[in-house]
Structures are given as structure tokens and as C-alpha cells.
Amino acid sequence: MDTGTHVVMGIALGGLATLDPSVISSPATTTSVLIATIIGSQIPDIDTVLKLRNNAIYIRNHRGVTHSLPAVILWPLILIAVIYPFFPGANIFHLWIWTFAAVFIHVFVDIFNAYGTQALRPFSSKWVALGVINTFDPVIFGIHSLGILIWFLGANPGPTFLVMYAVIIYYYFMRFKAKKRVMVGVRALIPDATEIIIAPTMKFHQWRIAAMNEKQFFVGSAVKEQVELLDRFNRIPVPNTPVMEAAKKDKNLSAFLSFSPVYRWEVDEYNDFYEVRFIDLRYRSNGHYPFVAVVQLDFDLNRISSYTGWVFSEKKLRKKLRILPS
């Protein structure tokens, strides 16, 4: 989920904690738990700072180690070590319970996004992504915000957020049912599909679709259960040419390939360099595919420049690469 949603989730969890007699009976515990749930709901995303280095490192590592099973155990201990000295009268066991809940819920809800997490590390490096909730879901954010407002206006936070979470759990079930209906529609259009990726958008009834069979890639969208195929591309294996092998050694392209399961590729030759481009097919927007990896090589196969990330125009891509084709 996005940062704003994790913030309101942390506040809501702190309000829910008032149902715990050991929390509400001690002002120190109440305050420390609220602080811990807010910070705990953010701490796994500390790896966002990797974006300050470059996109390749960020793509390879975001929602990786910081969202793993060991991290879910270690983050609460680290936070308690920082918070408890300021509230020595707090019930440390119940502070740990609610801090652990905040960290666990953060990692758990991220699994429902299309991006997913490596939550099974160290047992598996596989990305777990259920793809039923958009990174920012206005319904989930709105319900949390409404609950916080009701609390601010004087309502008892425990019962308020208990009802709120019941509504959200029901909402998740509705999202699974909606995705299942879309899946049926995709299967009807592509009965021989070997892989289907259905990704949510911010709108409840709209979905992005990327699929493949043995010969083609398919890109589409769905409104409710009505599926429309927008693009088709022939599946052409990535060749083992010197140009392609040299490009694969680039850190940006390597990061892209570690993250993207459905893509097509292009190789262009200009007056004095080659350009290798990989295009993720999951994020079609207004006829454009904004998530790419591009590597430019001279004719001796030395890297000139490269980029991976989101670009919404060719002009901006050229600016990031800092070179214009002749």
C-alpha cells in the first residue's frame, strides 16, 4: 500500500488497541502503543530510501528483505528498544503485541497488491502478489479516514475500528470475487492462456490484464466482467546475440528482468550505437507502456547509458538517457 494508507492504518490499529485492557489501563502503554503502531505501520518501507541511489537498486530490493519473515520478527524488537525507554511504565509485552501486529499487517496487506512482497524469504525469494487491491485504494483509505474522524469527534475508538475492520475484510472478499469474474472472462477469450496477470486499478470495476499463450502476448482491460483485448504481440525469444548478451550485463536491465514477468523487447541500430529496450506489458496506460528498461551500447558493445523505471513520453526517456539518436 502507499505511505498515506499505511499511516492511517497505524492510527486505526492504535485505536483498536484500546480494546486491550492492559493498554487502556496505563497512559504510558496507551501512548507508547499508538506511537509504535504508527511507526510500525511504516517501518518495512524504510527501503524506499534506496530510490535515492538509483532505480535498479530500488526495484531489486523494495519489499524484499524489509518485508521478509525475519524482518517481521526483528522490526518490533528494534522499535521497542527505541520507544520503551521513553515510556518505562508501559506494559512491554502488550507493547510488543501491538507493534508486531502493526508490522505484520503492513507486510500482509502488501501481499494483496499487484507489486507484492518477498514475504516468504528466506525460504523462498518468490514474489507473493495476489493482485486484488491497488497500491492506493480510495475505499480502504476512505474507510480508515472516516474511522479516525469519528474517533476525533469523540466516539469510542475500540468499537469504531472493530466495525471498520469488519467492513474492510468484507471489501477484500468482494475484490476477490470481482477478480475471479474477470479471470473467467479472460479464459473465455484466451482459452489456451499459459499465464494470466490481472492487476487492480484505483477504480473498483476496472482492471489491467496481461496474458500469454505459447505464441502471443495479450494486453487488455476489463470493466466489471467485460474483458477487452487491446494489443497482441508475437512471443519472440530473446536472442543470444552479442548485443543482447552485453545489454543483459547492465544493472538497470538486470533489475528489470528480475522484476517483470511479462515483457517484449526491441533492438534498434542508430548511426553510432545500439539501443536495447525491454517493455513491461502489465501497465498499459492510454496506449503507452510506461515501465521500461533501455540500454545503449556503442559498436564495441560498451555501455553508453541505461535507464529503468517509469517514463510517460519518449522525450522524457531521452532526457533520462542523456543522449539523442542521430
Q: Which amino acid is at 323?
A: I
Q: What is the pLDDT of residue 323?
A: 52
Q: What is the pLDDT of residue 319?
A: 82
Q: Of 136, 155, 182, at which residue does a domain stop?
A: 136
The two most distant CA atoms of the chain are separated, in Å, by 75
Q: How many domains are there within the chain? A: 2
User: What is the pTM assigned to this prediction?
Assistant: 0.89
> Rounded to whole angstroms, how far apart are CA atoms 71 and 207?
32
Q: Of 89, 118, 136, at which residue does a domain stop?
A: 136
Which domain, by its residues, includes 27?
Answer: 3-136
Number of CB atoms found within 10 A of residue 315's CB = 9
> Which is more confidently placed, 70 or 48?
70
* 96 inside domain: yes
In whole angstroms, what separates CA 61 from the centre of its chain? 12
Q: What angle do CA 154, 156, 161 make, to 5 degrees?
A: 115
Q: How confident is the model at residue 320 (pLDDT cuts 50, 70, 90)?
A: confident
Beta-bridge partner residues of 222: 207, 227
Whether 57 has a pLDDT exceeding 90, the answer reads no
Q: Which amino acid is at 177?
A: K
Whether residue 242 has a cis bond before it, omega within 30° of 0: no
Q: Of 136, 159, 174, at which residue does a domain stop?
A: 136
Dump pLDDT digits (tens) for 94-148. Answer: 999 999 999 999 999 999 998 889 888 889 888 889 999 999 999 999 999 999 9
Return the closest-CA partner of residue 185 out of 218, 232, 138: 218
